[in-house]
Amino acid sequence: MHIGLLGGTGPAGRALAARMASLGYPVTLGSRSRYRAMEIRDTIVSRWPDHHLEVEASDNEGAASAEVVVIATPWDGAAETALSVKDALAGKVVISMANALARVGGEFQPLVPPRGSVAASVQAAVPEALVAAAMHHLPAKELGAIDQPIDSDVLICSDHLRATEVTTDIVRAIPGLRALDAGHLSNATPIEAFTAVLLQLNVRYKTRVAVKLTGIAEHDAPTGQVGAAAGSSSNGGFPAAAEADVPVLDEV
């Protein structure tokens, strides 16, 4: 499975590119500037000289040609970036991982995009794409440490069963992660907003927290049974909101 990253030169994008390439996925790192993508690509490869990381540098148009596309831009540019490659995203699984946040004084606060979430805004911009919201709470530092597992759950929501299934497969490929189907794309609103709480905990306790839910056995969480199965229709789904370089749980 070939994975393309739109706006993949920020902390979250470069971390995900390194992680997925380390697992054998071909990755195309996209950016508005191909030269910026080439610079970040070289940084990733030189950091892990003992790994054969199949990372190609390109512009966003090149990254959008991949089988699965992840939007890793800042939240306020996610929908616009998706719209700029709208035709290339039609029929494809598109993963939105950004959170709309602002720091007010010493506190992180969630912002509510016009569509309610970054993921919903992306879905509205590219209605023919199969948008899933996922990976909002993963610290970029841990995500990019490809020699270490990540002990965390990942909440996935979408109105398309295929998007939930494909995103689940990608998440499960990362050692230590557990993928959980969190229902329809409308649930991206609280999932994205909860990142503000995690950041506050990081500040208060000088750590990097991870989401880990109890009471769910592996066999109790079949892929696509919640929300996506019922909503994988022709209605195009709800729009999703996103935030650029998040997961930014490392930045505090």
Band (pLDDT 50/70/90 cuts) for residue 220 is low
pLDDT for res 174:
98
Residue (of 131, 136, 133) closest to 110 by Cα position? 136
Taking the domains of the chain in order of start, what are their residue ranges?
A: 3-241
Alpha helices, DSSP H, located in the chain: 11-22, 34-47, 60-63, 78-84, 86-89, 118-125, 140-144, 161-173, 188-205, 228-231
Question: Quick check: 55 pLDDT over 50?
Answer: yes
- List, for residues 79-96, the tens digit of each pLDDT value: 999 999 999 999 999 999
pLDDT in the model for residue 249: 55
Mean residue pLDDT of the chain comes to 89
Omega before 247 within 30 of 0, i.e. cis: yes
DSSP annotation string for 212-223: ---S--GGG--T
CA separation for the pair 61, 75 (Å, rounded): 19
Residue-wise pLDDT tens digits, 95-152: 999 999 999 988 999 999 989 999 999 999 999 999 999 999 999 999 999 999 999 9
Distance CA 230, CA 94 (A): 19
Structure tokens that stand for 38 in this block = 């080439």
Residue 159 has pLDDT above 90, yes or no: yes
At 175-216, the pLDDT tens digits run 999 999 999 999 999 999 999 999 999 999 998 899 999 999
At 230 the pLDDT is 40
Is residue 29 within 8 A of residue 56, CB to CB? The reply is yes
Residue 228 is predicted with a pLDDT of 44
Provide the pLDDT for residue 217.
Answer: 86
pLDDT band, very low/low/confident/very high, at 221 (cuts 50, 70, 90): low
Give the pLDDT confidence score for residue 157 in this predicted structure: 98
Q: Which fold has domain 3-241?
A: Rossmann fold (3.40.50)
Which among 242, 200, 248 is positioned nearest to 11, based on CA atoms? 248
Q: How many CA atoms lie within 13 Å of 160's alpha carbon, on the beta-carbon side?
A: 26
Is it the case that residue 227 has pLDDT exceeding 80?
no
For residue 218, the model assigns a pLDDT of 72
DSSP state of 54: -
Query: Residues 201-229, buried b or exposed e (16+ Cβ, 10 A)?
Result: bbeeeeebbbbeeeeeeeeebebbebbbe
Residue recorded with tokens 């039609």: 90
Which amino acid is it at 129?
A
User: Does position 239 have pLDDT exceeding 60, yes or no?
Assistant: no
Whether pLDDT at 25 is above 60: yes
Q: Pairing between strand 93-96 and 27-29?
A: unpaired
